[in-house]
Structure 1
Amino acid sequence: MKNVADKAGVSISTVSLVMNNHDSGRVKTEIAAKVRKIANELGYRPNPMARSLRTSKTSILGFVAEQISSFPYVAKMLQGAQDAASKLGYVVLFVTSDGSTSQEEQTAALQRYGMDGFLYSQPSSQVTEVPDDLVHYPLVLIATNTVDNRFPIVESSEFDIGYDATKRLIDSGAKRIAYIGNCVPTIAQATRLEGYREMLYKAGIPFDDNLLANVSHNDEALNAVEHLIETQHPDAFFCYDDARAWYVYECAARMGLSVGRDISVIGVGDDKTVSDTFTPKLTTIELPYYEMGYWAVCKLVSLIEKQSEGVMFPKDLIPLPPLDSPIPARIHCRLIENESIVS
């Protein structure tokens, strides 16, 4: 730092503020940019081990996720968390409690490394408790249904998913919009349906129970969707997820209807293994797992360092809520336009 300070013509404390990302509001922007440029030219790299001895902080974040085998999108959360951590000078150690190893054992393994804070995710349809062994750390929850309001939570805006999908279908000219939902009473199911109903109300379209079909999988789901099409003649379908959109495609093909020409379909999830294999390609709403992981790390670091100013989110991400947003912080999802909506 002394070499950087000498070449930049500033004090060592100024270099320390800049290289530890604490310069916002303390160091002029042009001076901070000059320090970073010179540090880069000189090959300056902070020594995390030396820093941890001085500050009693390790710059290591623990990420504990449950049910990862049932929710493969946790990998996107982890990628977002890792990218944000790297930008802020931290690293993330990840464990999952799936399988025979308990959450307590996995968390204990992380704690031996001296975590500065934790991320915790249990993407479950049921209300869950925050693990007792995490509550004494700085902690941020990701997509976790809990009534515990002690900790920041980030999640997707499920209401807006239903609202935006229905609005897109109405804007295409649809009048009889069916909802192909989940027969399991999840929180997402109820909230997406609420958004669907609100958009119908605003458009002056009466809500019709006969246009709802909550289905599971396989022949039972196919039969329910086929019956709905035969008896109610919907011109558009909002589907709880991309997988359920397949039943609409299949039934439409059996009945001589063409998706994108005769009927419109929107899914949720942007599951590439599903949406990219449909013909025509499925219009869908992307769930912001990467952005949730990114925001959660930024929030966690702000709690650890006791400051939230100066955090700049990448411009190519879905717009993220401010770090001081009311809890839960909700991320508005992006609609991915393809060819499954009648033009």
Structure 2
Amino acid sequence: MSTLKDIAREAGVSIKTASRVINGEAPIRPETRSRVQAVIDRLGYEPSHAARMMRTRRSGVVGFMTDVVASTPYSVDMVRGMQDELRAFGKTMLIANTERDAQREREFLRMFRQHRVEGMVFASMFHRRLHTVPEAGAPLVLLNCYADDWQGASLVPDDHGGGYAAARYLLDQGHRHLGVISLNPVLPATQLRLAALRTALAERGLSLSPDLVQCGFVGPLEAEQLSAFEAAMEMLRRPDRPSAILCGNDQIALQVYCAAQDRGLQVPGDLSVMGFDDLKLISETLRPALTTVALPYAEMGRLAVRALVDPSQAPMSTVPQRVPCLLRVRDSVAPPTRP
């Protein structure tokens, strides 16, 4: 079985340097790190986690606790972003999904403490304000959520900036009569995007008709049901139907496509459609492909890890860090064919 001494000898470095590479510590020159890693791979070296933990008093483990996000499509990008960044630092992740159950949360927090996690990320299914913050007992970063008077790092998508970019793009294409089928109005994302839309319209001397703003879901937030098809049908039956519809997410946009087809309308010839999320299963599969705004979940995951590993990159603040949402231009938006 190979030892740390074998790795150092084969790579032509000191034992301390080899140890730093194995533990993901800095600073190490990239060429040195690559040379040592090649020897590790060739010799099949497996460091003893228990020994390293006793020596460094660090577990190399980060806890990732979610409310219900692990059962949503968006969790994949969050986890991928965190794993990519953790791998660069030689660390691993424990995942726990509470399903918003207080008892399960306490059990998972106990499990994290037993594993001596170096830090914890708490992620929410949607951009929201937390009423209580988990008592992690270790450095904590909030992901996709924030809390009043929280003196720590929190990361949320810049829904206002993303909503503004979507609105500006439609206006630049010549659209003046816009409809909205939104997420639940209690969500911060909904209000931030609507505020951004109104700002973009006001800059052109335009306003948003209240009659053309509808919610794409019915029922309480935790048990809401999609109703976007019915909302879109009602909007498209109007004699003054909008030339473009902004959707709260790509799932709503899919329903708008279906409603347009049912009404004999072509996208984007008769109706332009703007999504939000950039859920690839929908945005890249629809024909025409959906123009949408990407939620930056992978980048948020990476930033959350950096905030734990290097707190200087995430100064203490009561204001959450807003991560940009990028416009993804595809084929569902075109200039209007009628005034």
* TM-score w.r.t. length of structure 1: 0.80
Separation in structure 2 between the aligned mates of residue 28 and residue 250 of structure 1, nearest angstrom: 55
Separation in structure 1 between the aligned mates of residue 10 and residue 250 of structure 2, nearest angstrom: 57
RMSD: 3.1
Deviation at 1:122, TM superposition (A): 2.3
8 Å contact kept, 1:178–1:238: yes
Deviation at 1:4, TM superposition (A): 4.4
Separation in structure 1 between the aligned mates of residue 324 and residue 213 of structure 2, nearest angstrom: 26
Return 5+ residue gaps in structure 1 as ranges.
309-321
8 Å contact kept, 2:153–2:316: no
Shift in alpha-carbon separation, 1:68–1:29, aligned structure 2, 3 A = closer
> Residue 286 of structure 1 aligns with which residue?
294
Return 5+ residue gaps in structure 2 as ranges.
218-224
Q: Kindly provide the CA deviation profile for residues 131-165 of structure 1, in whole angstroms up to 9, marking residues without a partner as x.
A: 4531x311111101321422211121111110111
Shift in alpha-carbon separation, 1:324–1:45, aligned structure 2, 3 A = farther
Shift in alpha-carbon separation, 1:10–1:249, aligned structure 2, 3 A = closer
1:20 matches 2:23: yes
Deviation at 1:252, TM superposition (A): 2.8
Deviation at 1:77, TM superposition (A): 1.5
Separation in structure 2 between the aligned mates of residue 79 and residue 103 of structure 1, nearest angstrom: 23
Deviation at 1:267, TM superposition (A): 0.6
Separation in structure 2 between the aligned mates of residue 99 and residue 41 of structure 1, nearest angstrom: 45
Separation in structure 1 between the aligned mates of residue 131 and residue 226 of structure 2, nearest angstrom: 36
Shift in alpha-carbon separation, 1:128–1:323, aligned structure 2, 3 A = closer
8 Å contact kept, 2:153–2:315: no
Structure 2 residue matching 1:95: 3-state secondary structure: strand
Superposed, which structure 2 residues align to 1:257-276 within 5 Å?
257-276=265-284
Shift in alpha-carbon separation, 1:225–1:99, aligned structure 2, 3 A = closer
> Residue 157 of structure 1 aligns with which residue?
158
> Residue 61 of structure 1 aligns with which residue?
62
8 Å contact kept, 1:161–1:333: yes
8 Å contact kept, 1:64–1:119: yes
8 Å contact kept, 1:213–1:228: no
1:103 matches 2:111: no
Q: Which moved more, 1:83-92 or 1:267-276?
A: 267-276
Structure 2 residue matching 1:338: 3-state secondary structure: coil
> Residue 213 of structure 2 aligns with which residue?
213
Separation in structure 2 between the aligned mates of residue 332 and residue 22 of structure 1, nearest angstrom: 29
Shift in alpha-carbon separation, 1:279–1:36, aligned structure 2, 3 A = closer
1:342 matches 2:337: no
Shift in alpha-carbon separation, 1:276–1:53, aligned structure 2, 3 A = same
The amino acid that maps onto 1:209 is S
Structure 1 residue matching 2:332: 3-state secondary structure: coil
Shift in alpha-carbon separation, 1:124–1:341, aligned structure 2, 3 A = closer
Structure 2 residue matching 1:85: 3-state secondary structure: helix
8 Å contact kept, 2:70–2:97: no
Separation in structure 2 between the aligned mates of residue 262 and residue 73 of structure 1, nearest angstrom: 31
Superposed, which structure 2 residues align to 1:1-343 within 5 Å?
1-6=4-9, 10-24=13-27, 31=32, 34-37=35-38, 39-40=40-41, 42-68=43-69, 71-98=72-99, 102-124=104-126, 126-134=128-136, 136-202=137-203, 204-210=204-210, 212-217=212-217, 221-222=228-229, 224-229=231-236, 230-276=238-284, 278-303=286-311, 327-342=319-334
Deviation at 1:116, TM superposition (A): 1.4
8 Å contact kept, 1:180–1:237: yes
Separation in structure 2 between the aligned mates of residue 125 and residue 324 of structure 1, nearest angstrom: 21
Separation in structure 2 between the aligned mates of residue 146 and residue 116 of structure 1, nearest angstrom: 22
Separation in structure 1 between the aligned mates of residue 93 and residue 267 of structure 2, nearest angstrom: 44
Shift in alpha-carbon separation, 1:92–1:200, aligned structure 2, 3 A = same
Separation in structure 1 between the aligned mates of residue 292 and residue 316 of structure 2, nearest angstrom: 27
Q: Which moved more, 1:29-38 or 1:105-114?
A: 29-38
Separation in structure 1 between the aligned mates of residue 202 and residue 316 of structure 2, nearest angstrom: 28
The amino acid that maps onto 2:306 is C
Deviation at 1:31, TM superposition (A): 4.9
Report the number of matched residues.
Answer: 322
Shift in alpha-carbon separation, 1:57–1:256, aligned structure 2, 3 A = same
8 Å contact kept, 2:300–2:323: yes
Deviation at 1:205, TM superposition (A): 3.8
8 Å contact kept, 1:69–1:98: no
Shift in alpha-carbon separation, 1:68–1:223, aligned structure 2, 3 A = closer
